[in-house]
Amino acid sequence: MNTFKTNLAAKGGLALLFPLVGASLMFLTGCSSVAPPDDAPPGDTSIVSPAVKAIIEDSCARCHITLPSDHTGTRDVDQCGSCHVSYGNTGALAHDNGMTGCTACHTTPEQTHFYLRDDDDQLVLRANAADDCIACHRDGGHQINGAGRPALDTDEAIIDAARWGTLRSWIQPGGFMAKYLTSDEVATITDWVDNAFGGRDLDYDPYLSAVKISGDFDINGKGDDPVWKNAIEHTIALTPTMYTATSRIKLQALYSDTYLYIRAEHADATLSMTRSGAWILDGDAWRHPTATTENDKQSEDRLAFLWNVSIPQFRDRNGCAIKCHGNVPGSSEFTDLANSVGDIWHSKAARGMALNSATINSPLRIETEGEEYEVSAGSVTFSGVLDDKRLVWYQDFADGYDTEDSGRRGDDGGSAYSHNRNGDKSAPTQIETDPVDWADAMVLTQQEIDDGETIVADPAETGYDAAAVAASWADYAAMNAVVPERILRQPEGSRSDVLHAATWSNGTWVHEFRRELVNGNSDDVQFDLGVSTEYEYGIAVFDNCGRGEIPPGHNTYGDGQYQVLRFLP
């Protein structure tokens, strides 16, 4: 599943689940950092099937063309669809190189993408929208014809994509490009790739089987309750990249008359919970951890589910790619079909996982050389909640046209976090006065503030005491910790209904989740066994995934692996 990386990478967002398409480079690598084989697979790899070439010319190469020389491939977004819409992609009026007056037709969000919105009123276009249209789509801009990566406009390029295995992964059920082809076209391309380059085994079990238990239990984040011995293990292969942390994730599911329980386990060499906005006191001024490149900016470890609520053909065609690769202006990061909704469960190491507690089980080794503040050895257990959101259609204006978080809308109620920063974002507002250990220092809660365990950290605020702040910061520095950029608080309403506990221990994450089967919330998936015993989902793993990751590649769909939760009687 592609996640959720949150709308603009500049906003630090998810990926829910979900995975993001980062400036098209995901297609260059095919969601994989694994190099192609040294030796060509068996079969005739020198000729592209005429039938395959015809399909690609008609459905792919109109966008996947050789990039214009001025295309840098480094736009600060984590999606393709915001730009990759061909100039003249309309049946209403033929466009040509003399076309002007764009905003005469492109006047509303229904008629053009959201990057042309006014910053203050998202329902109108900004003043220079027409100039931006022409600059990008006509007068020497990057997207005169639209361009996807890699190019598929030559036989050599098509063969290269097939050799890597990416061509097939894109078009398989749940692949990024599956929704652009018919089933017959998918079969034609797949047969050619398999015959010429060697097939991929798609004979996998998509079912996570939930086993019925007689009573309920409390999740502790360690996944060691004896009741888990009754569960069936389901292993999902992940597409490996530098941002995935692991090549597989193990899932188990249980259910009672009241609750669904899910246990997830996967490898991750480091525990990462330092958002790029975290605070370091440098002399008498606050700053953020340094980063050499966008990819080095610190974020947090995350795990996310996207449950299908009303997305047509989720299993057989769209999968989580429905969020990341839109085919209409502005639809990337949203769904692009009316009334199509997904339920997002998004665990966040720095934004909810430690709301109730963070406990060190064994001594920690903390890496600080590059100001990463990640744990590379030891064990920590967390208890809290995950962020419960929903994925909506890109023209769903019912609760505002939110471009910052794109199509991910928070469920009804309050979130589990707010910002620990002043108005001009130059300093934190609070710092804990006496953190007991690294885990305590890395977590700041509203309860700690209410209990008087913090002091004013903003030099511009009344009550600021430079000496006291310096003394508190000395405790943080001694623990190799930073001041969190988020303040954790108890969520409210529908946004609070998925409990989450987890343990990172010497390179392995274990997560436990619990939610009512049927909670009656209109913004959630309902596991109503009287209606159905199977529920489609995707899953994404994020390894310290924050701003700028290209490609994100934290998905389960790269090999066509759709997933289904099945409740056993």
Pairing of strands 207-212, 248-255: parallel
Tens digits of residue pLDDT in 503-561: 999 999 999 999 999 999 999 999 999 999 999 998 888 877 544 333 444 444 444 46
| Residues composing the chain | 569
Pairing of strands 248-255, 259-267: antiparallel
Residue 36 lies in a domain: yes
Q: Please give the single-letter amino acid code of residue 352.
A: G
Residue 61 lies in a domain: yes
Q: Is a pLDDT exceeding 70 seen at residue 228?
A: yes
C-alpha distance across the termini of the chain, in Å? 28
Angle at 485 (CA atoms; ends 480, 487), nearest 5 degrees: 110
Residue 522 lies in a domain: no
User: Which among 389, 399, 388, 403 has a CA at the least distance from the CA of 332?
Assistant: 403
How does the average pLDDT of the chain come out, rounded? 79
**Residue 389: CB partners within 8 Å, gap ≥ 6?**
16, 344, 346, 408, 409, 410, 411, 495
Residue 449 lies in a domain: no
Percent of the chain with pLDDT over 70: 71
Residue 492 lies in a domain: no
| Beta bridge partner(s), residue 502 | 382, 511
Angle at 190 (CA atoms; ends 187, 196), nearest 5 degrees: 135
Tens digits of residue pLDDT in 366-386: 999 888 899 999 999 999 999
Confidence of residue 53 (pLDDT cuts 50, 70, 90): very high
Range of the domain at 180: 4-197
Q: Is a pLDDT exceeding 90 seen at residue 329?
A: no
Angle at 386 (CA atoms; ends 383, 388), nearest 5 degrees: 155
**Distances in Å between the alpha carbon of 508 and those of 242, 265, 282, 540?**
17, 7, 33, 16
What pLDDT was estimated at residue 5? 25
Q: 403: which 2 tokens?
A: 């471009």
Is the CB of residue 211 less than 8 Å from the CB of residue 253?
yes
d(CA 364, CA 360): 8
b/e sequence 360-399, b meaning 16+ C-beta within 10 Å? beeebebeeeebbbbbebbbbbbbbbbbbbbbbbbbbeee
Least confident of 273-277, 393-397, 410-414: 393-397
Residue 98 lies in a domain: yes
DSSP, collapsed to helix, strand or coil, labels residue 375 as: strand
DSSP, collapsed to helix, strand or coil, labels residue 262 as: strand
d(CA 190, CA 169): 9
d(CA 282, CA 292): 18
Model pTM score = 0.80
Higher per-residue pLDDT: 169 or 535: 535
> What residue has token string 């692949």?
175
Tens digits of residue pLDDT in 67-97: 555 554 444 333 344 444 445 555 556 666 6
Residue 153 lies in a domain: yes
Least confident of 158-162, 438-442, 455-459: 158-162
Tens digits of residue pLDDT in 100-138: 777 777 776 556 666 676 766 666 777 888 887 777 666
Contacts 24+ apart (CB under 8 A), 24-27: 24/73, 24/80, 24/84, 24/147, 24/148, 24/149, 25/73, 25/149, 25/550, 25/551, 26/176, 26/550, 26/551, 26/552, 26/553, 27/64, 27/80, 27/148, 27/149, 27/150, 27/166, 27/170, 27/176
**How many Cα atoms are found within 13 Å in the side-chain-facing hemisphere of 365?**
9
d(CA 567, CA 569): 6
What pLDDT was estimated at residue 140? 56
Provide the domain count of the chain. Answer: 1
Higher per-residue pLDDT: 327 or 343: 343
Residue 70 lies in a domain: yes
What pLDDT was estimated at residue 37? 39
What pLDDT was estimated at residue 64? 79
Tens digits of residue pLDDT in 6-49: 222 222 222 222 222 222 222 222 222 233 333 444 456 888 99
Is the CB of residue 278 less than 8 Å from the CB of residue 484?
yes
Is the CB of residue 526 less than 8 Å from the CB of residue 518?
yes
Percent of the chain with pLDDT over 90: 47
Average pLDDT estimate for 210-231 = 97
**Residue 14: CB partners within 8 Å, gap ≥ 6?**
3, 4, 5, 6, 20, 302, 304, 346, 408, 540, 542, 545
What pLDDT was estimated at residue 352? 95
Tens digits of residue pLDDT in 356-366: 999 999 999 99
What pLDDT was estimated at residue 379? 98
Q: Give the count of beta carbons closer than 10 Å to the beta carbon of residue 460.
A: 11
d(CA 243, CA 549): 8
